[in-house]
């Protein structure tokens, strides 16, 4: 959550600075350059904002999409309006596209820390290059004797350092998964404890994969205490988030067994979906 908060502040800071920088040099920017600048600000700000919100808002696609799209439209409009109305319109359209794609990416990719860090690196790099573009279009950029200006060197260094940081984060995450997998071999007592907790319940198992749930329908007996074990094999898709208004379920699944107790259900068929409503399954009570 701390990474998400810092990422939101970073997006707000860089977006605000680029909007102000374009406004300050608006008189020397052409309509074509203004369109490119507004489109970049609208797209990148809403994309980065959408990814962070998709993770931070418990994978709520609706709310994260609305906020990211509105933010991107506002950033694109403010950037382009001082240059031309056409640039403002271009920025708004890019903000809509970026917000939808970013929110969807944030909801689907549950390995949040590494993805958020990666998006932050790309966002900073693109925004830094955008400042160079504004300087170049307004005649402010000055090259050194070697032909490489300082802003370019700074953005390239930012990209390199960011890639290293993301690589280290992925390495630690991979090592954590390996160590947890090795520890699971010696966790027989925990399995016995889980068996004791589930005594008196009828247990139905649903295999959770990145491409859906299996079996698509499970049958349970009415009037008997029930637990559904959503056995998760991986955490790289929206199937890791289970939603069912009929059953009162709205949970994120961890890798392995996930026992969810169901209240006394009347005979009938109940639906559940992934967080994005792309995959679904049913539970039939007889």
> Which pLDDT belongs to residue 269?
93
54-94 tens-digit pLDDT: 878 766 778 889 999 999 999 999 999 999 999 999 999 99
250-280 tens-digit pLDDT: 888 888 899 998 877 889 999 998 877 788 8
Q: The pTM is what?
A: 0.64
Number of other CB atoms surrounding residue 181 within 10 Å: 10
- Check if the beta carbon of residue 189 is closer than 8 Å to that of residue 195: no
> Which pLDDT belongs to residue 182?
45
Helix, strand, or coil (residue 97): helix
140-156 tens-digit pLDDT: 655 444 455 555 555 55
Range from 105-109, 122-126, 175-179, 206-210 carrying the lowest mean pLDDT: 175-179
Mean pLDDT over residues 23-51, rounded? 93
Structural domains of the chain sorted by starting position, each given as residue range(s) with its CATH number in brackets? 2-140+150-176 (no CATH), 193-285 (2.60.40.420)
> Which pLDDT belongs to residue 184?
45
Residues 6+ apart with CB under 8 A from 24: none
- Check if the beta carbon of residue 271 is closer than 8 Å to that of residue 285: no
**In the chain, % of residues over pLDDT 70:** 76
109-122 tens-digit pLDDT: 655 577 788 888 88
Q: Is the pLDDT of residue 49 over 80?
A: yes
- Check if the beta carbon of residue 43 is closer than 8 Å to that of residue 97: yes
Helix, strand, or coil (residue 110): coil
CA-derived radius of gyration, the chain = 24
> Which pLDDT belongs to residue 255?
83
225-237 tens-digit pLDDT: 889 999 987 655 6
Structure tokens at 269: 């068929």
């Amino acid at each position: 959550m701390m990474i998400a908060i810092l990422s939101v502040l970073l997006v707000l800071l860089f977006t605000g600075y680029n909007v102000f920088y374009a406004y300050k040099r608006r008189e020397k920017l052409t309509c074509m350059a203004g369109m490119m600048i507004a489109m970049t600000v609208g797209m990148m700000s809403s994309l980065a904002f959408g990814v962070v919100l998709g993770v931070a808002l418990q994978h709520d696609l609706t709310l994260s999409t609305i906020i990211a799209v509105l933010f991107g439209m506002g950033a694109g409009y403010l950037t382009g309006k001082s240059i031309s109305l056409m640039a403002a319109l271009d920025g708004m359209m890019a903000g809509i596209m970026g917000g939808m794609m970013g929110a969807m990416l944030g909801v689907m990719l549950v390995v949040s820390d590494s993805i958020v860090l990666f998006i932050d690196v790309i966002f900073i790099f693109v925004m830094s290059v955008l400042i160079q573009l504004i300087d170049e279009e307004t005649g402010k950029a000055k090259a050194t004797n070697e032909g490489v200006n300082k802003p370019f060197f700074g953005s390239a260094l930012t990209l390199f350092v960011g890639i290293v940081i993301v690589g280290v984060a992925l390495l630690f995450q991979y090592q954590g998964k390996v160590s947890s997998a090795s520890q699971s071999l010696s966790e027989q007592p925990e399995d016995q404890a889980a068996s004791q907790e589930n005594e008196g319940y009828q247990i139905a198992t649903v295999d959770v994969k990145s491409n859906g749930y299996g079996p698509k329908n499970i049958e349970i007996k009415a009037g008997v205490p029930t637990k559904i074990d959503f056995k998760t094999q991986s955490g790289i898709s929206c199937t890791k988030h289970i939603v069912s208004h009929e059953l009162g379920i709205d949970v994120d699944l961890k890798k392995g067994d996930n026992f969810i107790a169901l209240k006394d259900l009347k005979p009938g068929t109940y639906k559940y979906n992934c967080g994005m409503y792309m995959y679904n399954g049913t539970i039939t009570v007889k």
